[in-house]
Amino acid sequence: MSHLGPNLRDPASSGSEFNKKASRIGLGIQESSQKISGLTQLAKRSSMFDDPIMEIQELTALVKNDITALNVALTDLQNIQRMEIADGIYSQDKVVHSTAVCDDLKSKLMRATKQLQDVLTTRTENIKAHENRKQIFSTNASRDNPFRQPAKSVTEPAPWSTTTSAPGNLQPSPLPSNEVQAGSQLR
């Protein structure tokens, strides 16, 4: 606290505190916007084989956390501004200036949030398109495969069966008198 007493703040230090916090918030918004730009580049990739899903998820979580923290910091900054205005610390020019700073930061943060939403929408659309291409490709591949052979008829006996009758008759051959098939004896 300053030498002015417990309830009064030094106008120079309070303005300085406001400016420092506003500067940090502005820097945070700029850094988040750069992360969103990187996220945009990752989300635009449409390759089926090189999908940076982990990078996108990590960067998305990081940007969401940044935006949440910046919203809290901006609310704190506005509270500082209100308290200082109520205390009569600010001149009319400073009130106008601090309000403009808060409004500017708020609009930049809203733009960054909108950019993030747009990137996530683009990502969702790319995933849907990827799934559609995958389904179309797999459907066409199985239908047009020249190496695919038709299933064999069920009535055809297996090559190892010992039937002696026609393919339509699946009755086993009769056993010899010693009840052991002649072809299956070990020698």
- The pLDDT of residue 60 is 95
Task: Write down the pLDDT at residue 24.
Answer: 98
Asked if the structure places residue 151 within a domain, the reply is no
**Which pLDDT score is estimated for 84?**
86
Mean pLDDT of the chain: 79
pLDDT of residue 2: 43
pTM for the predicted model, two decimal places? 0.64
Q: How far apart are CA 9 and CA 11, in angstroms?
A: 6
pLDDT for the residue 131: 84
Can you give the CATH number for the domain in which 105 is found? Answer: 1.20.58
Mean pLDDT of 18-36: 97
What pLDDT does residue 4 have? 45
Task: Examine residue 173 and state whether it is found in any structural domain, yes or no.
Answer: no
pLDDT of residue 52: 85
Domain assignment of residue 170, yes or no: no
Q: Is 154 within the bounds of a domain?
A: no
Using alpha carbons, select from 5, 7, 17, 20 the residue that is nearest to residue 80.
Answer: 17
Q: N- to C-terminal Cα distance for the chain?
A: 107
Looking only at Cα atoms, what is the longest distance across the chain? 122
User: Which of 15-29, 74-88, 158-172 bottoms out in mean pLDDT, i.e. has the lowest?
Assistant: 158-172
Q: Is residue 71 part of a domain?
A: yes
Q: Tell me whether residue 16 is exposed, middle or buried, using C-beta atoms within 10 angstroms of its C-beta: 0 to 12, 13 to 18, 19 or more.
A: exposed
User: Does a structural domain hold residue 56?
Assistant: yes
Q: Please count the structural domains in the chain.
A: 1
Model confidence pLDDT, tens digit, residues 64-106 = 999 999 999 999 999 999 998 888 877 889 999 999 999 999 9
Q: Which domain holds residue 24?
A: 11-144
Residue 59 lies in a domain: yes
6 against 36, higher pLDDT: 36
Task: For residue 36, give the nearest of 126, 136, 146, 120 by alpha carbon.
Answer: 120
